[in-house]
Structure 1
Amino acid sequence: MPADQTTPLAGQRAVITGASRGLGRAMAVALAAQGMSVAVTGRDEAAMQDTLTAIQSVGGTGTAHSLDVTEPDAPEALAAKLWQEGPVDVVIANAGISLVKPAIETSDEDFMQVINANVLGTFVTLRAFGERMHARGQGKLLATSSDIGIRGSAGWVAYAASKGAINAMVKTLAWEWAPKLTVNAIAPGAFATDINSHLLSQDAVMQAICADTPLARVGRAEEIGPLTAFLAGPGSDFMTGQILSLDGGIQKS
């Protein structure tokens, strides 16, 4: 199906970090299907090409850019490069890593690796693009959080801390950059993606997730697309500083 050139997003430009696979790829395809030109970033060149192929399969257009958000100057360099080609309308800071390890086994190095990738990586990305978008006077910024950053979960201390920090960051930036920009986050629950396939392949893990989830299943990557398109579009113009759970209703307490 060709990209829809009749939507409010047609002709706009988006940037999505960590879009070489999984939810980042699904978000990129969803925006491309709405007529946006999507710049995808990641560290795996071959996987990014697969994302571009998926974008082209819906009639969309995109470009791939190598980016490691743990290099603090890299997002700024990418923002400067892309902005030379024209304004960016939507930025999604999605790049990050996970760590499943009990707290007493989590070293300082383990903890800071997650914080640097997820918290600092998200911040420098939003700052680099947000500064330019704010000067322009319009734009939408999104971050990928997690339901674990809201409810916590045993064995995820570093990851939960990083996503909780992203939630606070989003709410703070929403205040700082209003009324010109909106800043929101999507907090997915358990989704079937490459990054957690080793966990979801365990029957006990899957049974526990389904028992705590009213919809009794994990999410499909493509199910993040409609919410992403909504947050990127004019329908969310009066929404900012929100952490939107997309988790099948998983219990928070």
Structure 2
Amino acid sequence: MILDLFRLDGKVAIVTAAGRGIGARIATAFAEVGADVVIGARTEEQLREVADQVEALGRRAVVVPGDLSTREAMGTLVDTAISELGRIDIVVNNAGGSMPQPFMDTTEKAFDHALRWNVTTAFNLSQLAVPHLLEQGGGSILNITSVAGSFADRGFTAYGTAKGALMKLTRHMAQDLAPKIRVNSVSPGSIATSALDMVLQMPELEQAMIDGTPLGRLGTVDDIAAAAVFLSSEAGSYVTGRDIRVDGGIEGSNLEMGIPDL
């Protein structure tokens, strides 16, 4: 049965920034198709809520609260996965983000932080997890990027550059880790999560984003989770080094940032 290819029975996945939004939904989606999960984020209360959802599905969830910006914290995620669940098969690098800013207002610190938070975190966790993936004969690494890494627009100097770098990292890792480990990315467009709260609280801005999206709606966390399941399962076994854009068809920013000429 073709649906059997999407199962993750007996697998263990690490998902970062899994306390809410995309990361939380990927974790519960993995549980729905049979995986146990190790979930990390800053806020323990949010992680506990996600863990309860996973356990209600009959799967195991291990909560690892903490600041994921350091290599040491990523090491804790890996060590906990091995000590508590005995293996690692899938890594989802979902930690990231950065607020749009005009180029001349973007500080060196903000630029460095965007690169570290979006790219270095993925490098660290992946590198630490790879020996354990190899112990299982291989596995899958999935980086959550953004369509901002593919287009150029005002306000995205730090965030867009970081996500573009993460997409490039994905391609290089796929070559280095083939044939045993597949590495892919998903580029979300405008997804209705708490990250868009400021926009979603203003109906005119929300409508502007919808109007600027060819499919005529904002994305949902289910849209991203479905792609994550595909790429992390046997259904995606002949896919590596690729970015799947789940973006409603947009070719650039679907919201005018209002940044004036210099």
Structure 1, unmatched stretches of 5+, are none
Residue in structure 2 matched with residue 41 of structure 1 by the alignment: 40
Residue in structure 1 matched with residue 63 of structure 2 by the alignment: 64
Residue in structure 1 matched with residue 260 of structure 2 by the alignment: none
* CA–CA distance in structure 2, aligned partners of residues 86 and 152 of structure 1: 43
If the length of structure 1 is used for normalisation, what is the TM-score?
0.92
Task: Output one character per residue of 1:85-135: Cα deviation in whole Å (capped at 9) or x when no partner.
Answer: 412111101011221211111111111121111111111011111233135
* Residue identity opposite 2:17 in structure 1: G
* Other structure's SS at 1:142 match: strand
* Residue identity opposite 1:158 in structure 2: A
If the length of structure 2 is used for normalisation, what is the TM-score?
0.89
* CA–CA distance in structure 1, aligned partners of residues 146 and 232 of structure 2: 19
Matched, 1:191 2:191: yes
Matched, 1:148 2:148: yes
Residue in structure 1 matched with residue 259 of structure 2 by the alignment: none
Matched, 1:105 2:105: yes
CA spacing shift, 1:229–1:106, aligned 2, 3 Å: same
Q: Which moved more, 1:79-88 or 1:169-178?
A: 79-88
Residue in structure 1 matched with residue 21 of structure 2 by the alignment: 22
Deviation at 1:76, TM superposition (A): 2.1
* CA–CA distance in structure 2, aligned partners of residues 159 and 6 of structure 1: 34
Percent of counterpart pairs with the same letter? Answer: 28
CA spacing shift, 1:7–1:178, aligned 2, 3 Å: closer
Q: Which moved more, 1:99-108 or 1:77-86?
A: 77-86
Q: Give the conservation status (yes or no) of the 8 Å contact 1:5–1:35.
A: no
Q: Give the conservation status (yes or no) of the 8 Å contact 2:102–2:154.
A: yes
* Residue identity opposite 1:28 in structure 2: A
Q: Give the conservation status (yes or no) of the 8 Å contact 1:130–1:141.
A: no
* CA–CA distance in structure 2, aligned partners of residues 100 and 149 of structure 1: 13
Task: Output one character per residue of 1:6-33: Cα deviation in whole Å (capped at 9) or x when no partner.
Answer: 9631121111010000000010110001
Task: Output one character per residue of 1:201-235: Cα deviation in whole Å (capped at 9) or x when no partner.
Answer: 33443233223211111111122222111111101
Number of residue equivalences: 250
Deviation at 1:59, TM superposition (A): 3.6
* CA–CA distance in structure 1, aligned partners of residues 136 and 91 of structure 2: 14
* CA–CA distance in structure 2, aligned partners of residues 200 and 101 of structure 1: 19
Task: Output one character per residue of 1:141-199: Cα deviation in whole Å (capped at 9) or x when no partner.
Answer: 00100011111332122111110000000000000000010000010000111122113
* CA–CA distance in structure 1, aligned partners of residues 5 and 162 of structure 2: 38
Residue in structure 2 matched with residue 217 of structure 1 by the alignment: 217
Residue in structure 2 matched with residue 236 of structure 1 by the alignment: 236
Residue in structure 1 matched with residue 257 of structure 2 by the alignment: none
* Other structure's SS at 2:101 match: coil
* CA–CA distance in structure 1, aligned partners of residues 17 and 175 of structure 2: 26
Q: Which moved more, 1:119-128 or 1:21-30?
A: 119-128
* CA–CA distance in structure 2, aligned partners of residues 102 and 153 of structure 1: 10
Residue in structure 2 matched with residue 13 of structure 1 by the alignment: 12
* CA–CA distance in structure 2, aligned partners of residues 86 and 61 of structure 1: 12
CA spacing shift, 1:6–1:169, aligned 2, 3 Å: closer
* Other structure's SS at 2:88 match: coil
* CA–CA distance in structure 2, aligned partners of residues 99 and 54 of structure 1: 30
CA spacing shift, 1:120–1:248, aligned 2, 3 Å: same
Q: Give the conservation status (yes or no) of the 8 Å contact 1:134–1:177.
A: no
* Residue identity opposite 1:61 in structure 2: R
Matched, 1:165 2:161: no
